[in-house]
Amino acid sequence: MNHTISELIGGARRAVVKIGSSLLIDTQSGGPDTARFEAIAAALASWRKRGLDTVLVSSGAVALGRGRLNLPTGKLPLDQKQAAAAAGQTALMVAWDRALQPHGLPAAQALLTFDDMESRRRWLNARATLDALLAAGAQPVINENDTVATAELRYGDNDRLAARVAQMCDADILVLLSDVDGLYDADPGRSPGARLIAHVSAITPEIEALGGEPGKAGTGTGGMVSKIAAARIAARAGIATIIAAGAQDDPLGRLERGAPHTVFAPETTRATARQNWIAGAVAPRGTLYLDDGAVAALRTGKSLLPAGIVRVDGEFARGETVALAGPDGMPLAKGISAYGADELRRIAGLRSAAVERVLGYRRGAAAIHANDLVLEERA
């Protein structure tokens, strides 16, 4: 389906906005471009005001740190780059905090590593933290933890990191603000007739070939190649990606009013992507046996409460996929458990109010949220 950009953004509840180094650094001083930080902060605040939460992914640590540590321009050895990231990250967050403060948004830093994003349990923890930050009215600002990330195990570009963050926090849209306003059908530097592609419905090899050389888009490491790679990750997770220019005032407002951009359509819906993922779990790590009441509730699309669980088989951690069966052992559904097996054994059969008393904490009312459940096909 082809939405206009204002429909796409207007219908979103949560967005991940990524901004690249080249937009944030003042080329004269090597320090933060304060006006740019303020423009982005104002745009995020206005989205927030009307109910569109944002998670910001900000590059710029290495570039700012270079200046602070008087390191040379050009490619740095890894240890120096990591040192630059450490020294620049503080300056980056100071700049964001100052820019966001007039809008009543405290900047909240999260530095993520590749491992955080690829290990299920850490992913769940990071997701819960982001949810809590947004609920508390903070502005999450994410970067890769470059200081500890090793060369082989890092994203290296924040485009793909942002796509994974979008997937993790269940965003509707991923906005990559850049020094280019989208994907062109030829190199605009070399071919004056190059045209902006407004809508990409599928990331074909031809589209990928338009990405050109890695690292083309200036100071950052991104370039179009990593933006297309990010769009692909997002598309498969059911999330639309928008590439747009970030250099003007009010870049997000302008985008919404139709400023040039490229939209990469999602390949599937978010619900379907999630359901496919759950349904595709080949070997659930355990089985929950449910009472008749819970079976009926599940069939009408409700969540599974601890009260409806009669028995727990197997060993699994929270966030792992389990099978659900009726009292007779009939396979009923698969789902992602919000609790580990040991926890569930202690709270099976208990009403939600008693769960906290027994465990000393509670992770929401459901043992498995309705969104995390897929019913077996009924014959």
Give the residues lining the site for ligand GLU (CB under 6 A).
20-21, 59-63, 85, 143-144, 146, 157-158, 220-222
Nearer to ligand GLU, 85 or 344 (CB): 85
CB of 20 to ligand GLU, least distance (A): 6
Rg, the chain, Cα only:
23
For residue 304, the 8-state DSSP code is B
User: Least distance to ligand GLU from the beta carbon of 311, Å?
Assistant: 47
267 contacts 323 by C-beta, under 8 angstroms: no
Q: What tokens were used for 33? A: 């471009």
Residue 356, both tokens: 């906290």
* Minimum separation from the CB atom of position 60 to ligand GLU (A): 5
The residue (of 60 and 251) whose beta carbon lies closer to ligand GLU is 60
Integer CA distances (angstroms), 22 to 84, 125, 179, 254, 263, in order: 16, 31, 7, 20, 21
CA distance 21 to 357: 48
Q: Which is nearer to ligand GLU, 44 or 312 (CB)?
A: 44
The type of residue at 249 is: D
Q: Which CB sits closer to ligand GLU, 60 or 335?
A: 60
For residues 171 and 15, the answer to whether their CB atoms sit within 8 Å is yes
**Residue 69 Cβ, how far from ligand GLU at the closest point, in Å?**
13
Q: CA-CA distances (angstroms) from residue 369 to 301, 334, 373?
A: 10, 11, 7
Residue 30 CB, shortest distance to ligand GLU, in Å, is: 13
b/e burial code for range 210-233 (CB count within 10 A of at least 16 → b): bbbeeeebbbbbbbbbbbbbbbbb
Q: How far is the CB of 200 from ligand GLU (least distance, A)?
A: 21
**Residue (114 or 264) nearer to ligand GLU, CB:** 114
Q: Which is nearer to ligand GLU, 160 or 274 (CB)?
A: 160
